[in-house]
Amino acid sequence: MYVNKESSRKYIFGPVPSRRLGLSLGIDIIPHKICTLDCLYCEVGRTNCLSVKKEHFYSVDSIIEEFEREYISLKDSLDVVTITGSGEPTLNEDLDEIATRVKKISEHPVAILTNSTKITDEKVAEALKKFDIVVPSIDAASQDVFKKINRPEESLDIEKINEALVKFSNDFDGKLLIELLLVKDINDSETELKKISDIVKRCRYESLQLNTVFRPPAYTGTRGLNESELIDVFLKMKSFGIKVERVSNFIKTFSHEAGDEKERVFELLTMRPCTVYEVASVFGISVEKSELIINDYLSKSQLSEEEHDSKKFYFSSLKK
Ligand code: SF4
């Protein structure tokens, strides 16, 4: 997360809008930039202290004092309070106390964004259980992919981390919103996505959000997926039985903003051929509605159809 704090604030930032969480007041509890990972795509920059060691970074009293002051003046406009930062927040040894005290003050749900790597530590897992919402990342299921995309501290083992995430999710009573960030040609292969979905399926979670590289990454040359590729992954994860959220600029625009749904379906079919079921799935509409829209364009010869593998695909006639 990109953290831009006003000069009168040391720990608090925002409110910042988040599509998943709403308007969020952030609390940054890690000095820039201490992390267990050095992700290719990190928007905070390269990790200058790669560490798995928990520390007492700040006085808890000073974090809570600043939070209380800012929260009181901003609370009417908020949806959520989020602990995050310019590094991995679970490296803060005082996480449990911070969560407990923030929750005493906040009338809003309290969330935390974590890269999941410290979830193997029982004390961290216990502290995470204090939150109403936990947003853990899972970018890999194989150690080689983990090393490439997340550039971890050398002791970290992705299989142990993912197993601990599965266990945590089943012990946790709050909302678990998992994030998967996709980097082109690194973690987007069918094999890796299947392995990731096998882990996610064993979790008790609300949804998996797909994301990609939208902002300047820490390492140049790191590429995100384009809209069509994201839709492919979205549909693939759905076919694996994952409760996946529509995301990316494209899907977000198509799913959540006002406008003509018909036109948006047409735009999708200009970009890539889809079945009726895929259109319904991308837009979260019924198969019947998707059929009605497609049939209307077919009747005006603006869409064409073609059979492949016993499935009917529709696409814009303009493409031919
Ligand atoms: S987990 Fe990755 S993306 Fe998050 S702060 Fe650390 S290096 Fe950046």
Ligand 1 atom showing the smallest separation from residue 181 Cα: 3
194 neighbors 231 (Cβ within 8 angstroms): no
Q: Which residue ranges have their beta carbon within 6 Å of ligand 1?
A: 35, 37-39, 42, 44, 47, 87-88, 115
Q: How far is the CA of 35 from the centre of ligand 1 (A)?
A: 6
Q: What is the pLDDT of residue 250?
A: 45
Residue type, 233: V
Q: What is the pLDDT of residue 122?
A: 97
pTM metric for this prediction: 0.84
Q: What is the pLDDT of residue 308?
A: 76
HSE of 7, CA atoms in CB hemisphere, 13 A: 0
Q: What is the pLDDT of residue 275?
A: 87
Residue with the smallest CA separation from ligand 1 atom 5 is 87
Q: What is the pLDDT of residue 268?
A: 76
Q: What is the pLDDT of residue 271?
A: 67
Nearest to 179 by CA among 146, 139, 206, 218: 139
Q: How far is the CA of 140 from the centre of ligand 1 (A)?
A: 14
Mutate to test the pocket of ligand 1, among 44, 49, 91, 151 (most ligand atoms within 8 A of CB): 44
What CA–CA distance (Å, rounded) separates 256 from 46? 33
Question: What is the pairing mode between strands 303-308 and 311-316?
Answer: antiparallel
Query: Residue 27 is inside which H or E element, if any?
Result: strand 22-28
Q: What is the pLDDT of residue 100?
A: 98
Q: How far is the CA of 256 from the centre of ligand 1 (A)?
A: 28
| Cβ atoms within 10 Å of 2's Cβ, excluding its own | 11
**Residue corresponding to tokens 């990731």:** 196
What CA–CA distance (Å, rounded) separates 242 from 306? 28
**Residue corresponding to tokens 């036109």:** 263
Ligand 1 atom showing the smallest separation from residue 137 Cα: 1
How confident is the prediction along the chain (320 residues), in pLDDT tens digits per residue? 545 555 678 899 888 877 778 889 999 999 988 999 999 999 888 999 999 999 999 999 999 999 999 999 999 989 999 998 789 999 999 999 999 999 999 999 999 999 999 999 999 999 999 999 999 999 999 999 999 999 999 999 999 999 999 999 999 999 999 999 999 999 999 999 999 999 999 999 999 999 998 878 999 999 999 888 998 999 999 999 999 986 544 444 444 444 567 877 887 787 677 888 888 877 778 889 999 999 999 998 889 888 877 788 898 866 44
Mutate to test the pocket of ligand 1, among 3, 43, 47 (most ligand atoms within 8 A of CB): 47
Q: What is the pLDDT of residue 2?
A: 46
Q: What is the pLDDT of residue 3?
A: 52
Q: How far is the CA of 123 from the centre of ligand 1 (A)?
A: 21
Q: What is the pLDDT of residue 259?
A: 52
CA–chain centroid gap for 102, Å, is 23
